[in-house]
Structure 1
């Protein structure tokens, strides 16, 4: 059942400061999931410590560099100026916490979830647990992780019992980078707990951070909710990707088709093609679903696996379509000067480099990625755009001026539907 905790986010924030919340809240992981959560908790009046194993990231964040998508340097500066935010790689700085939100990513490796990083975090947190403390797992993972994996580690390491001595639950992350309408504070938050006391406390904590809290009966329901949401996006993106392939074969613009279909007022939600599997979350998250089915002895989750196959081959489709587009302009991929706006999926720049293209890329998050050998990182300046034989839009981020990209470039191959014009070909 949803709980409307504040109709006006500004009023909700003011209530938090007026109440003088001074509880210590720790966020384990200061990446794309954890840092926005930490910023919101500072706004709500908590004393926040971010814990991250990446010492390079810790130094940059403490120096005021917003090195994570979704958080601006202005927001980070306000958090530091409050005196209630700091980042550390040492779990000793988490001691005395009241609430801990764990955002450690859980990856699929060799066909199964790799729970090693989560286990390492739990083992460091367990000795710090006290009676009454609250731990919430935000990681997207397979159903049962909170109760069957995290709970025993915390109980064994602390000597306390979840649901009685300390409070434990799961709340899936919901975020769409670049969406100006739905931010953390106004997006409904699903919460769950091990026992009624845990659920009440976790709902209260998130009630300070978001406008609406949605309670569910157990962490398993919460964990599976996250997988359903990601699988829904994954499967429908695969359908849009298949449409782009078919549309290219029959000479139609898939983006125009999608826009036309979007006028139907019922039974349709628009999804757009993508150049492949974005790093790091979506395809790995939804792979938990077929793994869980196999683990339970059931049949394969065929729909999700088919979507994996379609989306996993889109990088090849991008390279193939780009080659055909260059051929029509009497050029080969080998030797062409190609400017990529964005580096993900990384399979695209890797393939273009192998084919002998002179590849440059503009990528604000290049420091977090490992570009292939032979690729040069540049700024998307006017001269760079003008000199390229083709500019390839891989990123959908708003950090690029797509009107200028279309106006300045000789030819644009757009995989995200951000450009229009006679010199633009869209995936």
Structure 2
């Protein structure tokens, strides 16, 4: 595409949300520009490389195909004034007070607002609390543009449902929920997403669409918390939880199997609007106690894993201090490189503070730093497992042969229940 030719779509934020959307739009022959303030990310994309910290499942070939099809990455906000649709995919994280940090969303909106033209459709995909599109994003766009949402430009929210590493469900075949400020806003956003998604689901408004994301994220956390509690309980009373799960999931109704693990990571953060200052100050809604409790339970799983590690070493006449511990899999989910929120980091910190000698292996992580120190990477997995006093499986990547590892390892703690029954100590 010639540089002077305007794009139909601007994707603002070229991380784990924005890159897959830009790829889907480019595949659908929608002229697309990607905007990011990170000059390094933009430079890597322009050079046909996957930026560090980008989306899982992306290859250099994907990037080159996008560029060849007309996609261009830029740090110039002037490019944002030449599009018909702008989708904000800025990252949001939980702060120390468990409140969502919308700073990156605000920065994206302030970059877009002065360039916003009448009849443009603006969609927010970042994880936010119910009400954020209207109460936080809308005023920034309106004050910076002099335009009015719902009258001069369209504004909507659409929760991201991306599942990195999922080979069955991608952006195209996962139903897309959309909630617009007005019915016309919803239809404008639906017209855009209808070009890249097989099914569009219309919510009553942006608050309902935002609450969809909140429910879906919290559903995951609450059910994983129940599985984690069951894991601790069953271990204490001598019951094989993994056999319990195997049997329970044969029930064809009223049950969905969630599995325990060393903690919960990823971008689907649990959201409790009752914990947000803006909600508390107006007396809106009670805190979601189930979510608070789930976060507490899931947050203590790394400590429980450490307890199990220490107990196993002790049973075999060894102390955690000076023990050689090999950690397998440091990403937040199987077969991806993303380490966002991975419990591996906290587990490593706690082991280091106990005096353990750490090494790690992960096919998706060539380097790993903990407490600002590089952790030695095992080159030969089986030799490393044989030499380690304790091997801990934190993430079950497809490439791991757990039966073979169980034979080689002196001690194997499987926190994912992925090893054959009886071949390892399981969470």
Deviation at 1:253, TM superposition (A): 2.5
SS for the counterpart of 1:211 is: coil
- The residue aligned with 2:104 is 117
SS for the counterpart of 1:264 is: coil
Matches within 5 A, 1:136-175: 136-175=123-162
- The residue aligned with 1:85 is 71
- The residue aligned with 2:384 is 384
- The residue aligned with 1:16 is none
- The residue aligned with 2:22 is 38
Deviation at 1:122, TM superposition (A): 0.6
CA separation in 1, counterparts of 2:41 and 2:145?
29
2:60 matched to 1:70?
no
CA separation in 2, counterparts of 1:396 and 1:27?
33
Matches within 5 A, 1:171-320: 171-279=158-266, 281-283=267-269, 285-288=270-273, 290-291=275-276, 294-297=280-283, 298-320=285-307
SS for the counterpart of 2:391 is: strand
SS for the counterpart of 1:155 is: helix
Deviation at 1:74, TM superposition (A): 5.3
**Deviation digits for residues 277-317 of structure 1 (CA, Å, limit 9, x no counterpart):** 314x334x423454376454243321111111101111101
Q: Which runs of 5+ in 1 are unaligned?
A: 1-21
SS for the counterpart of 2:82 is: coil
TM-score normalised by L of structure 1: 0.87
CA separation in 2, counterparts of 1:60 and 1:339?
33
CA separation in 2, counterparts of 1:402 and 1:72?
27
1:118 to 1:244, Cα distance in 2 relative to 1, 3 A: same
SS for the counterpart of 2:172 is: helix
Matches within 5 A, 1:369-408: 371-379=370-378, 381-382=380-381, 383-398=383-398, 400=400, 402=402, 404-406=404-406, 408=408
Deviation at 1:46, TM superposition (A): 1.6
**Deviation digits for residues 122-163 of structure 1 (CA, Å, limit 9, x no counterpart):** 111111211221110001111111111111111111111112
TM-score normalised by L of structure 2: 0.87
Deviation at 1:399, TM superposition (A): 5.8
**Deviation digits for residues 58-101 of structure 1 (CA, Å, limit 9, x no counterpart):** 33333333343432315524534533223233323434122111
1:171 to 1:113, Cα distance in 2 relative to 1, 3 A: same
1:51 to 1:389, Cα distance in 2 relative to 1, 3 A: farther
1:105 to 1:289, Cα distance in 2 relative to 1, 3 A: farther
1:215 to 1:380, Cα distance in 2 relative to 1, 3 A: farther
Q: Which runs of 5+ in 2 are unaligned?
A: 1-5, 331-341
1:289 to 1:139, Cα distance in 2 relative to 1, 3 A: farther
Which region of structure 1 is more displaced relative to structure 2, 379-388 or 149-158?
A: 379-388
Work out whether residues 262 and 415 of structure 2, in 8 Å CA contact, stay in contact via their aligned partners in 1: yes
CA separation in 2, counterparts of 1:351 and 1:136?
41
Work out whether residues 227 and 289 of structure 1, in 8 Å CA contact, stay in contact via their aligned partners in 2: no
Work out whether residues 42 and 79 of structure 1, in 8 Å CA contact, stay in contact via their aligned partners in 2: no
SS for the counterpart of 1:143 is: coil
SS for the counterpart of 2:370 is: coil
1:156 to 1:374, Cα distance in 2 relative to 1, 3 A: closer
**Deviation digits for residues 201-256 of structure 1 (CA, Å, limit 9, x no counterpart):** 11111111111110011000000111011111111110000011011112222222
**Deviation digits for residues 334-365 of structure 1 (CA, Å, limit 9, x no counterpart):** 21222212332121111011111111223466
- The residue aligned with 1:12 is none
- The residue aligned with 1:96 is 82
CA separation in 2, counterparts of 1:231 and 1:337?
37
Query: Size of the alignment, in residue pairs?
Result: 405
- The residue aligned with 2:410 is 410
Work out whether residues 12 and 18 of structure 2, in 8 Å CA contact, stay in contact via their aligned partners in 1: yes
